[in-house]
DNA sequence: ATCAGATATAGCTTTTAACTATAGCTATTT
DNA sequence: AAATAGCTATAGTTAAAAGCTATATCTGAT
């Protein structure tokens, strides 16, 4: 009996699908098929009934699942018994501010549970680190990267603002608009250039740094602002978010690194899962 | 962590030697080296200290052994949970009488514990069977075979018999000797031919079948006999065993079979272990 | 009836785990 | 002290296993 196959079996059971399990295991779908078939052969039992919408475990599959889970757990425990004695591998991850706590902690949680013997340290993005989660524009020349999230910059307005009634916001609507400038902000430069070219001028009411501060000021009716629209921000139902027509302001959040290490490999896999679903 | 590697580790631990473990696992010695090295790499621990007379487990090796043993046991248990539900595979083994109970049951014990889901039936050698353990002369034409044990026929005498004082027994010493004939016996025919050619005649006092009966009669002083000298027989210290000079009477006990099946493969491996040590 | 989404199959490539041969080490024997 | 025997490690090769891509096939839903 092969632990690798049992692991595949477990994922299939939890996903109720071969193809989905394949993605989670970072292998091709036929490989999952083969592994399960081999287990079924070895145990002389059919473990899943296959149908057009995935698979459902048979009675035997149901019986195997807790046993397999336990066995894998025990194997992991053995491994950790020895690894935790040794040098805790440390990993320093640089993180840009303002990426949203929830999704970031979800990612880091996956990472730390996949690498239980690792000691993860979060550092500001410019400090020395093994990898960085940053906006694409912040990439250094020597760094390679993988896309994690992509999100548009949206105009955020108080819900009672006149513009919130419009379906589409045009560039010209921005002329003379009360605006809260948040810097540093990658989109700001681009927006400002575009506006200058069109002869449109904003009415800057405040210059601040954090997104949360900006949202607070908008909520207070001080003006509008431009913010990256990630899930955690859009949740604010007491604010209105609008795209600006003909102006695509996007930020790409990437995993940046220079050297590949085993730990980084794991992190890259977690990132891959995020960007694929 | 690979269960196969853990199994190798267990065997090395029990054998206290890589090369011996290799034989027990039916693989080459470098493969054991590689497997252990890989485990050591994965656990970041040295498991054995290597020296010129084999290996001794390190503290970490000692710690791993019971854990590994338990894990393997659990994996086996899972397999058997499912296999025992299915069809018990049956295996009929034909066995010639008089091969010695102890070594035979040791062999069968190894066999049944290697194939826990098998239902083993012992049958007389001429009945229909999947394989037979017989004297080489009993082989059928279609059968292939592997040697299991080889043993000489020795003359067995009461301890107080005059011949028991001699270092070497010559053919001529047998002339007129009180003798217990055991038949059927493969060596008897050959001995008889040789004696006839030399003009030597035995004094047949009894014709019986089993070895134990013959030993009893010899013990009782009725005469001498010719018996295959396997360990269990030589154990009788109240009897004297002597080779007959210039007369090599040998019997080869072989595993005979016609068709190879998975179960037979296991049995052949067990047999191989016996004949190699 | 078609389509979308899922698993199975075929053929090929890469990786892994074996093997053989041999080097290198060390305790024992000559 | 040198030779030997018995181990494990290393190098290089071969064969089996596990992976991939492309595609066929099936089935429930549109």
* Same domain for B53 and B19: yes
* Same domain for B210 and B141: no
- Separation in Å, CA of A3 to nearest CA in chain B: 7
Numbered residues of chain A with Cβ closer than 8 Å to any chain B Cβ = 1-4, 42-45, 60, 63-64, 67-68, 70-71, 74-75, 78-79, 81-83, 85-87
Query: How do the pLDDT tens digits run along chain B, 277 residues long?
Result: 999 999 999 999 999 999 999 998 989 999 999 999 999 999 999 999 998 888 999 999 999 999 999 999 999 889 888 887 766 678 999 999 888 888 899 889 888 888 877 888 999 989 999 999 999 989 999 998 888 888 999 999 988 888 888 888 888 899 989 999 987 887 888 888 888 988 999 999 889 988 888 899 999 888 899 999 888 888 888 899 999 988 888 999 999 998 888 888 888 888 887 776 5
Judging contacts by C-beta atoms under 8 Å, the chain B residues touching residue A116 are none
For the stretch A16-48, pLDDT in tens is 999 999 988 989 999 999 999 999 999 999 999
E-strand ranges in chain B read 48-51, 54-57, 89-95, 118-124, 131-135, 144-158, 178-182, 203-208, 225-228, 239-242, 250-257
* Same domain for A140 and A257: yes
What pLDDT score does B277 carry? 59
Q: Is the CB of A240 under 7 A from strand C?
A: no
Boundary of a domain, candidates A58, A83, A108 = A83
* Same domain for B38 and B72: yes
Yes or no, beta carbons of A2 and B1 under 8 Å apart: no
Boundary of a domain, candidates B47, B66, B83 = B83
CB atoms within 10 A of CB A125: 17
CA distances from B217 to B83, B159, B179 (A): 50, 13, 10
Contacts of B176 (CB under 8 A, 6+ apart): B201, B202, B203
CA distance B47 to B45: 6
Judging contacts by C-beta atoms under 8 Å, the chain A residues touching residue B83 are 43-44
CA distance A135 to A131: 13
CATH of residue B21's domain is 1.10.10.10
- Separation in Å, CA of A111 to nearest CA in chain B: 19
Contacts of B81 (CB under 8 A, 6+ apart): A63, A67
What pLDDT score does A276 carry? 64
Yes or no, beta carbons of A81 and B68 under 8 Å apart: no
Higher pLDDT, A86 or B37: B37
Q: Which domain holds residue B238?
A: 151-252
* Same domain for A231 and A110: no
* Strands B250-257 and B144-158, sheet pairing: antiparallel
* Same domain for A269 and A140: yes
Å separating the CA of residue B44 from the C1' of nucleotide C14? 27
* DSSP 8-state class, residue A212: H
* Same domain for B246 and B259: no
* Same domain for B197 and B107: no
* Same domain for A57 and A12: yes
* Same domain for B69 and B112: no
CATH of residue B122's domain is 3.40.190.10
Region A102-114 average pLDDT: 86
What pLDDT score does B228 carry? 92
* Same domain for A79 and A41: yes
Which pLDDT band holds residue A156 (cuts at 50, 70, 90)? very high
Q: Is the CB of B95 under 7 A from strand C?
A: no
CA distances from B103 to A107, A221, B147, B267 (A): 61, 95, 15, 14
Average pLDDT value over all residues in chain A: 89
CA distance A210 to B50: 61
Å separating the CA of residue A40 from the C1' of nucleotide C1? 37
> Which of A2-11, A67-76, A160-169, B28-37 is the least confident region?
A160-169
pLDDT at A115 over 90: no
CATH of residue B181's domain is 3.40.190.290
* Same domain for A112 and A158: no
What pLDDT score does A18 carry? 94
What pLDDT score does A87 carry? 67
**Of the candidates A65, A77, A74, A78, the residue with the CA atom closest to the CA atom of residue A6:** A65
Boundary of a domain, candidates A41, A66, A83 = A83
- Separation in Å, CA of B241 to nearest CA in chain A: 50
CA distance A20 to A135: 29
DSSP count for chain B of H helices, then E strands: 9, 11
Region A104-121 average pLDDT: 85
Strand C contact residues in chain A (1-60), C-beta within 7 Å: 17-20, 29-30, 33-34, 36-37, 50, 52-55
Nearest CA in chain B to A80: B43
What is the count of structural domains for chain B? 3
């Amino acid at each position: 009996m092969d632990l690798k196959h049992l692991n595949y079996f477990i994922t299939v059971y939890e996903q109720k699908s071969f193809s989905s399990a394949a993605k989670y295991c970072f292998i091709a779908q036929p490989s999952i098929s083969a592994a399960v078939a081999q287990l079924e052969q070895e145990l002389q039992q059919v473990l899943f009934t296959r149908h057009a919408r995935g698979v459902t475990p048979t009675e035997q599959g149901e019986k195997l699942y807790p046993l397999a889970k336990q066995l894998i757990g025990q194997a992991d425990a053995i491994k950790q018994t020895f690894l935790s004695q040794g040098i805790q591998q440390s990993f320093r991850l640089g993180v840009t501010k303002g990426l949203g706590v929830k999704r970031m902690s979800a990612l880091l949680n996956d990472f730390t549970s996949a690498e239980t013997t690792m000691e993860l340290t979060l550092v500001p993005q410019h400090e020395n680190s093994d990898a960085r989660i940053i906006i694409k524009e912040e990439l250094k020349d020597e760094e390679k990267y993988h896309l994690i999230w992509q999100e548009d910059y949206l105009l955020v307005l108080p819900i009672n603002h006149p513009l919130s009634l419009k379906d589409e916001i045009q560039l010209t609507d921005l002329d003379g608009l009360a605006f809260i400038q948040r810097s540093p902000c990658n989109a700001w430069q681009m927006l400002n250039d575009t506006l200058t070219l069109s002869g449109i001028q904003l009415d800057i009411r405040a210059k601040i740094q954090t997104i949360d501060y900006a949202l607070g000021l908008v909520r207070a009716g001080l003006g509008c602002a431009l913010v990256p629209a990630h899930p955690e921000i859009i949740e604010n139902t007491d604010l209105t978010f609008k795209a600006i027509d003909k102006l695509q302001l996007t930020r790409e959040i990437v995993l940046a690194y220079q050297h590949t290490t085993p730990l980084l490999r794991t992190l890259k896999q977690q990132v891959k899962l995020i960007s694929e679903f």
